[in-house]
Chain A
C-alpha cells in the first residue's frame, strides 16, 4: 500500500505557541524518504523538512522539527514559536519508486493550519 494519512483536516495555534501535525503512512520498505510540504495561498508547494528513514535522528530545520517513529510508521511535524506566515496547508508525503527508475511523491490529504494573533 502507498497510503499517507493525515488525520487532522484543520488545526489552529496561537502565535508564538507550538503545534504538532500528524502523519502516518504505509510501507513495506526499510529505506525511504518522507517530506513535509507547505502550500500557502500562492499555491506553490514549499519543502519544509525531509527525513531519511535509515537515519534515526529526527530532522530539524530552524523552528520545524519532526518526530519520526519508524516502527509505528508515524511522521509528525512540530512547529515551534508559530508565526502568522506559517498559516498554510501542510502536506505529508512519501517518496515511492515507480519501477522505471523513477520516483513519485504520494501525498496525504493535507492539514490546514490557522495561526491566531
Chain B
C-alpha cells in the first residue's frame, strides 16, 4: 500500500502569489489533516477534513483554505503569499477522525516564498 503522498515536494513562490498543495491519503483513509512546520519548530495544525467536511481549523488567516474531494484527496490553498509562509507543509491521514487510530504523515511539501 502506498503511504500518504504529497505533491510537489519542493516549490518556490514569490510574495503575493497563490499556491496549491496536494495530498493523497492512504487508501481507505477518510480523514486528511494539514500542518505547517516552520524550521526549528513543531508542526502547527491548519485544517482537518473528514468525509469531505471541515472538522477543525487552526489559528491561521483566511488566506489559507482547503478542501477534500470525493476520493478523499485534499488540496491546501494559500493566497497572497508572505515570506512567513515559508515552511514545510505536512499532510496526515487517518482511518477515522483520529480518535481511535493514529495519524500517518506524508513527507511534506517544502514551500519557499521569496
Contacts and interface: CB of A to CB of B under 8 A. Distances in A.
Interface stretch (B21-29, B68-76, B77-85, B95-103): B95-103
A102 B107 contact: no
A103 interface: yes
B88 A105 contact: no
Contacts of B56: 98-100, 102-104
A101 B97 contact: yes
Contacts of B99: 95, 103
A75 interface: no
- Chain B contact residues (Cβ within 8 angstroms of A): what range? 20 to 34
Given A103-B99, A104-B45, A109-B41, A44 B55 contact: no
Contacts, number: 73
A84 interface: no
A102 B105 contact: no
Contacts of B58: 104
Per DSSP, chain B at the interface is strand
Interface residues of A, number: 26
A100 B43 contact: no
Contacts of B54: 100
Nearest to B46: A104
A42 to B, nearest CB: 6
Nearest to B54: A100
Counting from the closest, the 10 A-B pairs by CB-CB distance are A102-B55, A98-B56, A107-B42, A103-B98, A45-B105, A102-B56, A104-B45, A44-B107, A102-B48, A100-B55
Interface of B: 31, 33, 35, 40-45, 48, 50, 54-58, 88, 90, 92, 97-99, 102-108, 110
Given A93-B42, A108-B42, A109-B41, 11 more contacts: A35-B102, A47-B104, A50-B102, A91-B42, A100-B55, A101-B50, A102-B55, A103-B98, A105-B35, A106-B45, A110-B40
